[in-house]
Every structure is written in structure tokens, then in C-alpha cells.
Amino acid sequence: MNHNAEDGLVQLFNLNMGSGLQLNFLEITALLLIALATLMALYRLLFGPTTPDRIVSADALSVIATVILCIIAALFQSVLYLDVALIYGVLSFVGIIALARAIEHPSDSNFEGHLEDKNNVNVRKSDPGRNSGDQP
Amino acid sequence: MRLAADIFLLAGAVFIFLGALGLIRMPDVYNRIQAGTKAVTLGAIGVFLGLAFLFPQWWHKLLVIMGFILLTNPVSSSAIARAFYVSNVRPWVHEEESNSEESSSRPFKEKQELSQ
């Protein structure tokens, strides 16, 4: 019975990608959990209340995308996707660091005003006149 | 060998799922950084260990990617958290504590002076 259920799941999702790798029940559960995690991080990226939430979920999504690229390498049984995953990780790290520098030093890029005006990030009360006149 | 790979893969997937669940459920940006960094990093390490058990001929590339994520993901989210803190994104305080101004604002000012 268990064997038939596993075969049904494998044929339902059709996940062996034409290669010789037959997935069992634990691996399909792992793939479904990673898919659910991607959907939840994507929800926070799309409907996040503020811009910092979107940036944080983009940081988490870059790691999840690296993991998914390695899983794709395992599914296709091709080593090239591991190189793709490594380059994706390097570029996302450089992008996140550049974004953090742009937020941290707003005199260079005027990014902070954009962050606060568009998305209503709470400003600390101890510095008056920061964006006190901006809200209609 | 296949069973060890499946156990590591499932543990990594569970940790990635819990990290994304914390990304949904946590109330603040800083709490979401904690959930989305540490749990997802541990989950990625678990998935890479599982793939290294599943394909033992790829262990060196998986080791490079694993070490890279283990080194750079805490650095990048620490940089993000520091940038948010410097650019005046307020931390979340509990409703009972936010009513009394002294207890919530005093350690916050000390942290601010310490960071500058």
C-alpha cells in the first residue's frame, strides 16, 4: 500500500525529470515544504507592509533560490547548476550589501527619504522635524 | 546512504519552512531578520548535506556553496539590520510597555549612543 502511494505521488508530480533518480516519499515532502516556504517568503515580498519587510524577504528568498538551484542540479543530475547556484549566491550577497550601504548612508543616494515617504516607516519620536510635514 | 540523504534533506526543508513561517508570523522587521536568517541558513546547510549524501561525487562544490552561505548570509542580514537601525526604523515594543514611555525609550537611547 505504501509503495503504491509513493508511486502515485511520483507519477502525480512527475518529478524524476526523465533522469534515473526516483524520488521517494521523504524527498517529495521536502520539495513540498521548500515550495511552501518559497510561497510564504514571496507573500511577504509582495504584500509586505513596509519596504524593510520586502528587503528582508528578498534576502531570505535569495538563499532559498540558491537551495532550489542545487535541488534542480540534483533533479537533472547536472553539475552545471551548482556553478549557477554559487554565482547566484555571490551576486545576491553583493546586491544585498550594496542595498544596505545605500540605506545606511543616505547622503550618497537619497534612498532614505524614498523609503520613509512612500511606505510610512515609523520614525523615532526623539528627532523632531524628520518627516513631520510630509504626511497629508 | 539514501536514507541519510533523505533525513538531511527533510530536516533542511523543515528548517527552511519554519524560517519562512517566522518571516510571515513575526511582528517586526528585526524579528523577521532573525527568523529569515538563522533558520533558513541552517535549513540550507541541511539540504546541502543531504545532496552531498545523495551525490557523493559533487561534495567539493557543495562544500564551497555551503561555506559561502554559512559565511555571507549572517553578514548580509547583519548589514541590513544595522542599516535599518541607523535609518530610524523603530523596533517593535509590546503594547503594555509602549504605554509607559520611560521603560521603553531609555534602553533604546543607550543603544543609539553606543552605535554612534
Do B89 and A52 make contact, defined as CB atoms within 8 angstroms?
yes
What is the tens place of the pLDDT at every residue in A21-79? 678 888 899 999 999 999 999 999 998 788 888 999 999 999 999 999 999 999 988 89
pLDDT average, residue stretch A86-96: 94
Q: What pLDDT score was predicted for residue A118?
A: 47
Give how far A123 is from chain B: nearest CA, Å: 6
CA–CA distance, A122 with B86 (Å, rounded to integer):
13
Q: Where are the domains of chain A?
A: 2-119
Q: What pLDDT score was predicted for residue A3?
A: 53
SS3 content of chain A, % helix, strand, coil (to 5): 75, 0, 25
- Between A102 and A110, the higher pLDDT residue: A102
- Between A2 and B69, the higher pLDDT residue: B69
- pLDDT digits (tens), chain B, 116 positions: 889 999 999 999 999 999 999 999 888 888 889 888 999 999 999 999 999 999 999 999 999 999 999 999 999 999 999 998 888 777 777 766 555 444 444 444 444 445 54
Q: Which residues of A touch B50 (CB under 8 A)?
A: 30
Q: Three-class SS of residue A130?
A: coil
Q: What is the ipTM of this complex?
A: 0.79
Q: What pLDDT score was predicted for residue B28?
A: 86
Do A36 and B43 make contact, defined as CB atoms within 8 angstroms?
no
Task: Print the SS3 string covering chain B.
Answer: CHHHHHHHHHHHHHHHHHHHHHHHHCCCHHHHHHHHHHHHHHHHHHHHHHHHHHCHHHHHHHHHHHHHHHHHHHHHHHHHHHHHHHCCCCCCCCHHHHHCHHHHHHHHHHHHHHHC
* Number of Cβ pairs < 8 A linking chain A and chain B: 176
Listed in sequence order, the residues at least 6 apart from A71 whose beta carbon sits closer than 8 Å to its beta carbon are A31, A34, B47, B51
Residue with cell 507573500: A43
> Of B87, B93, B106, B108, which to mutate for an interface test with A (greatest number of A Cβ within 10 Å)?
B87
> Of A32, A82, A90, A111, which to mutate for an interface test with B (greatest number of B Cβ within 10 Å)?
A82
Long-range contacts of residues B92-99, Cβ cutoff 8 Å, at least 24 apart: B92/B27, B92/B28, B92/B30, B92/B31
Q: Where are the domains of chain B?
A: 2-89
Of B9, B43, B90, Cβ closest to residue A122: B90
CA–CA distance, A121 with A68 (Å, rounded to integer):
32
